Structure 1
Amino acid sequence: MSKKRYWTRILCAASFSLAALTTFADGKEQKDGKQSCTAASQENRTQLEMIAKVLGEGKAYAALAFLDAAKLDTPVARLYRAHALRQTAQFEQAGDLYQQLLATCVGGLAYQGLGLLAEMQEQHDTAIGFLKVASRMLPVDSKVRGDYGYVLMMHGDHQPALSELLTAIELDGSNRLAIHNLIMLMYKTGQDERATQLASDFNITEQHLQGIRRESGLPAFKINQRQQFSSGSCYGNTQLCTGILSPQLEVVQ
């Protein structure tokens, strides 16, 4: 999978996940200078839900057109516009808009957006800084933690990346990008058997697994060369098997 394809997937997934924000619209000033979100009207909520859906389908130009037509000037609408600008490679405009949103009710997601924007431009240190802040502001947001884990992995910080990716998966067992990246981290650190077991646990197809391996910088393998191993019973809502979260799962420095 190319890096361009990877970022197309992650940006679309991130924008679509924001559909829940459409319950809110206007920013109300607080004593600390930040804004809290107030409830959106039904009409605005419907418009924002539709825009979130369009963004989730990867139709960023259409999302910009709908935002222009809706004429909404709320933190959530501006966040969606920043995402659409980022997806259409209008990086400077997206960055300016994210910066304007840092002190609003969507500040944590604006930091996430800045982090993803920096990583897309291969500004790894900057990306890590922004996503670290985002993860502190939104500690139980699976996608934020997963994004932070990804940029740490790409920077070579494997042990903290492992922690962030496992956190993302435990928070949301359906976060396929975090699962994808955890498997890639196992390949990057020479834990092929763990990668194979994770793929099996999460029903990753053979074709997808081959793609992850290639993305990790490793040659494709033949099916009969794959090594299988058994682990204990599964537990928890995310169905992570015994051993995956134990000290046995360590990155190779």
Structure 2
Amino acid sequence: DPSESAAHKMFSCFYCKRCEAACSSGVKLTEVFTDAKKDLLELGFNGPGTTSTTQMNCARCLICVGACPHEARFYHEGRGVVVDPAKCKGCGICIEVCPAGAAKIQNSFGTGRKELMDRASIFMATHKSAKAIVFACNWSYYPDLQASTLPDTETRDKSYEILVNLCGGRLERQLLMAPFLYNAWGVMVAVCPDDKCEHNGNLRAKELVEDLRHTLKSIRIDPERLRLVQIPAGDKGKFQAEIDTFVDRLNTLGPIR
């Protein structure tokens, strides 16, 4: 029977599709979850889980409505910007585009800006060989790589840290620039190939990174210290090769002075 516990779990889905990748029968489980969320809503059960919400400081500019790739946000006369929990996939693009910071995801499970910035800061402060922070898209290749990642106790001297940011479209300027304040030598952003991102977040990430590279150049920091790569789904070999190449380049450039 439907319950608050079941609804909480269902609305906490990030649509990462790891379950679909593991399903030997090829069942489109996320489609089943979406239908289940619709049924739960009709029965009076709601998230928000990973569903984005709109705070009181919303200016009703409707930028988030136009930016949402899933048409989950709409304007309601009297209620303002409303989110359809059954359509929202927690990609977080609305968070990145909101000028007022009114779009929030209540349960980010460690993928929010503050959590990622804290992890980057801790890594840079606790690893002597730390040089790079790598932001990885959850939907493309990360699940395969995660399965082969060694425990932190065995990688004390690693030179880079991989942080999962869900979708490239969710990346913000402050988040990408923060590692440099923590003495990182460089930052790499890995996203889906063109036409492969379900949320079109890779295109937003490319524009953001290119803009920030110009910013770095204007303050006399080599723009090569900020790099974006596009990785086909599940290609952990290419992902690792790109990281190794980036770290080698950083070793040539040296620390920022």
Shared fold (TM-score greater than 0.5)?
A: no
The structure richer in helix per residue is 1
What is the TM-score of this pair, normalised by structure 1?
Answer: 0.31
What is the TM-score of this pair, normalised by structure 2?
Answer: 0.30
Q: Which has the higher contact order (CA 8 A, sep 6+)?
A: 2
